[in-house]
Amino acid sequence: MISTVNDAKVLSLANVGLYYSRRQGFLKRSQFWALQDVSFDLFAGETLGVIGKNGVGKSTLLRILAGIITPNTGKMVIHRPGFRISLISLGAGFVPFLNGRENVILSGMMLGATKKEILSKMDAIISFSELDGFFEQPVNTYSTGMRARLGFSVAYHLDPDVILLDEVLGVGDEAFKIKSTAAMKEKIRSEKTVVLVSHNVPLIREICDRLVWIENGKTQAQGDVKEVLDAYLNSVPLGAK
């Protein structure tokens, strides 16, 4: 596939480790290391895949990239300070009693847009979400699929410079899956930098430029999609998934 990778790095992680602090019995806290030693680079315009056994490491990684939490060890350098790096989550902070319109404004503002920006994109957001009349209804009357569509629509239209996807394409009904996959692929083919966490091997093969394999909190391999996939798949015992 044609990659539009230019050599400018967006960010680099070097030996990054992070722990969560958990209560452990009486008066004690324990450290739970979700990531121990992760290193990779992210280049502008590329689609980087992240693969690895189920665990909290990958979501943690996305949160670090989104600026939600900071690593405890290692170094993270952001080479493009002005870049908006957004985690595509489906309905962050939706207030149940408010309607779709008000939640879009709230959600958009939390993702870093000004009120004016969101209002100017409101029509596009509404039509993409295909909610029609439901838009003026409280979101607690929505199905999970509808909430997903709306949340996705907001995040998508705010056009972040780096898009972080946590297997979001697998959520929702068939129609939404097709639509969001198509929309994301379009973004991917454009200049957008995308980090995609997924278990979907065919999808990774199809849209990723490079791949990082993270397991047990450490980078096991990074680089060419085929090579890393081979290494990853060889490590999975036969018959297990």
Partner 1 sequence: MQYKNTYSSRQVKWLNFSELVIQKAMAGLKAEASRGYLGVLWWVIEPLMYMCIFYVVFAHLFRRGDENFILFLLTGLIPWKWFHATVATGASSLMANFGLMNQVYLPKMIFPLTNIAINTFKFLIILTVLIVLLQFTSVKVTWVWVFLPILVLTQLFLITGVTSLLAAIMPFFPDLRVILDNVLMMFLFLSGIFFDITKMPESVQQYLWLNPMATLIVMYRRLLLEGLTPDWLHVFGVFVFSALLLSLSIWLFRRFDRIYPKIIF
Q: What are phi and psi of 163, to 5 degrees?
A: -105, 125
Nearer to partner 1, 74 or 185 (CB): 74
Distance in angstroms (rounded) separating the CA atoms of residues 197 and 93 = 22
| Options 20-28, 128-136, 199-207, 216-224: segment touching partner 1 (CB under 8 A) | 20-28
Q: Of residues 17, 39, 53, 92, which one binds partner 1 by CB under 8 A?
A: 92
Nearer to partner 1, 18 or 211 (CB): 18
Distance in angstroms (rounded) separating the CA atoms of residues 62 and 152 = 17
Within 8 A by CB and 6+ apart from 222, the residues are 39, 40, 210, 211, 212, 213, 228
Q: How far is the CB of 228 from partner 1 (least distance, A)?
A: 27
- Does residue 25 interact with partner 1 by CB under 8 A? no
Please report, as residue ranges, which positions from 54 to 73 form the binding site for partner 1 (by CB under 8 A): 63, 66-72
With contacts defined by CB under 8 A, how many residues of the chain interact with partner 1? 43
Handedness of CA 29, 34, 39, 43 (dihedral sign): negative
Q: Of residues 110, 182, 233, 236, which one binds partner 1 by CB under 8 A?
A: 110
Beta bridge pairs of residue 162: 85, 193
Exposure on the CB side of residue 115, measured as CA atoms within 13 A: 3
- Does residue 33 interact with partner 1 by CB under 8 A? no
Binding site for partner 1 (CB under 8 A): 18-23, 32, 63, 66-72, 75-78, 81-87, 89, 92-93, 95-98, 102, 105-106, 109-112, 114-115, 138
